[in-house]
Amino acid sequence: MIVPIELAHAQNITYDITIDALPQLTFDTNVVVVTNPTVAGYHLETLLSHIHATKLNVVTIPDGEGYKTLETVENILNECFEHKLDRKSLLIAFGGGVIGDMTGFTASIYQRGIDFIQIPTTLLSQVDASVGGKTGVNNKYGKNLIGAFYQPKAVYIDPAFLKTLPPREFAAGIAEIVKMAVMFDKNYFEFLQKSDFSDTETLKEVIKKSVELKAWVVNQDEKEAGIRAVLNYGHTFGHVVENETNYTTYLHGEAVAIGMVMANALAVELGLFTQDEADAVKTLLENASLPTDYVIKDVDDFYEHFFLDKKSAKGSIKFILPNGMGNYKMASDIDESVVKKVLQSFGE
Ligand code: NAD
Ligand code: MG
């Protein structure tokens, strides 16, 4: 199953996203695989038995979002120099979104840019992070504030890698899948309602559809000047939830699930979404073992947090809301009092 991605306004940038068992890959060049001990422990042997290169080396970096830093990128760069990579060499990102974002960013700056490919191993990275070319790292000012738009040469998505993924991480990926469906495709939402995600063939279908939707969005708007912002549905509220809980209580996808429930409540208040539709989304999230409840202790404080988001231009918050199932609305002019009334409904 191959989903081609063709960036409409970035001429000559096209690449294939393969959703299937990982094929044998042969490269007539030096290759460095970037991974972490967790992923390597489960799957490195399998990966290496599929890669044939002039020279093949593995760089292992510590596991965790806390290591998604410039310092780690510098360590990867140093390894690339040690292994004498040249401008024709290739990096392979083998892991979740953290590995993918950092490997892509490293590839974008090593000798002014070398090729990289993505072999994502979490559900979230298979349906979201590996597609679209956003790369980067965090710093003390926030998440993903340093980086580059840099597209991979190819993406290989093999759902078999997900068998070892912890259940919470799996569910976090489902949240981003539900996001795509609610924003863009009612039929897909209905398909998800009927889906058993533990069934391999179903999961493959679900991944394919999500990747198609993400590629469709990115093809129209690589640099997030318009429609790509719709992918932030659930994120405006979710980021505040993550921030209020110091990034320790919820995985990103879990916070996005809560954020979607909040965005839906606002959409219901504005007459954009019916209560039944909001309930259907909540049920789907709960069936996927995602959290949907959150107690807002201080509504004013929660509201102020919106302005810490880099995507909220000063003075206006851009809310991404469902506008009927499978449709979206971007709104920057929602009255503070309306938003606060909805936030109040999540109060103690
Ligand atoms: P992650 O990369 O931290 O992976 C989650 C955990 O699962 C890690 O401990 C990892 O080692 C482990 N893991 C990975 N594959 C496994 C497997 N097959 N079996 C067992 N364990 C496995 O987290 P993530 O959710 O994949 O990605 C989150 C990151 O992605 C964030 O840094 C976020 O900013 C970024 N992201 C980027 C984009 C983008 O467009 N570039 C989009 C969404 C998210
Ligand atoms: Mg996200």
User: How much of the chain exceeds pLDDT 90, in percent?
Assistant: 88
Residues contacting ligand 1 via CB (< 6 Å): 36, 38-39, 42, 63, 65, 68, 95-99, 101, 121-122, 124-125, 128-129, 132, 134, 143-144, 161-162, 164-165, 169, 172
Average pLDDT, whole number, for the chain?
A: 94
Cα 78 from Cα 74, distance rounded (Å): 6
pLDDT of residue 103: 98
The region that residue 133 occupies, defined by phi over 0 for left and psi between -120 and 50 for alpha, beta otherwise, is left
Q: Which two tokens stand for residue 186?
A: 């009612």
pLDDT of residue 163: 97
- pLDDT band per the 50, 70, 90 thresholds, residue 142: confident
- Residue whose pair of structure tokens reads 């939707």 in the numeric block: 213
DSSP-assigned letter for residue 347 = B
Calculate how far, in angstroms, residue 299's C-alpha sits from the geometric centre of ligand 1: 31
Residue type, 209: K
Q: Is the pLDDT of residue 312 over 60?
A: no
- Rounded to a whole number, what is the largest CA-CA distance in the chain? 63
Q: Is the pLDDT of residue 10 over 70?
A: no
ipTM: 0.99
Handedness of CA 84, 85, 88, 92 (dihedral sign): positive
Q: Is the pLDDT of residue 146 over 70?
A: yes
pLDDT in tens, 283-301: 999 999 999 999 999 999 9
Handedness of CA 158, 161, 167, 169 (dihedral sign): negative
Q: Is the pLDDT of residue 85 over 70?
A: yes
Q: What Cα–Cα distance (Å) separates residue 131 from each residue in 115, 152, 154, 285?
A: 15, 8, 9, 23
- pLDDT band per the 50, 70, 90 thresholds, residue 12: very low
Q: Is 222 a catalytic residue?
A: no
Q: What Cα–Cα distance (Å) separates residue 124 from each residue in 95, 100, 129, 207?
A: 11, 11, 7, 10
Residue type, 259: G
Residue 148 CA: which ligand is closest?
1
Mean pLDDT within 306-322: 78
- pLDDT band per the 50, 70, 90 thresholds, residue 15: confident
65 known member of a binding site: yes
Q: What angle do CA 187, 282, 338 make, to 5 degrees?
A: 105
Calculate how far, in angstroms, residue 58's C-alpha sits from the geometric centre of ligand 2: 28
Cα 63 from Cα 61, distance rounded (Å): 6
Cα 339 from Cα 113, distance rounded (Å): 44
Cα 109 from Cα 113, distance rounded (Å): 5
Residue pair 265/279 in contact (Cβ under 8 Å)? The answer is no
Q: Is 214 a catalytic residue?
A: yes
pLDDT of residue 316: 81
Mind spelling out the 3-state secondary structure of 248-305? Answer: CCCCHHHHHHHHHHHHHHHHHHCCCCCHHHHHHHHHHHHHCCCCCCCCECCHHHHHHH
pLDDT of residue 64: 96
Q: Is the pLDDT of residue 13 over 80?
A: no
Cα 128 from Cα 210, distance rounded (Å): 8
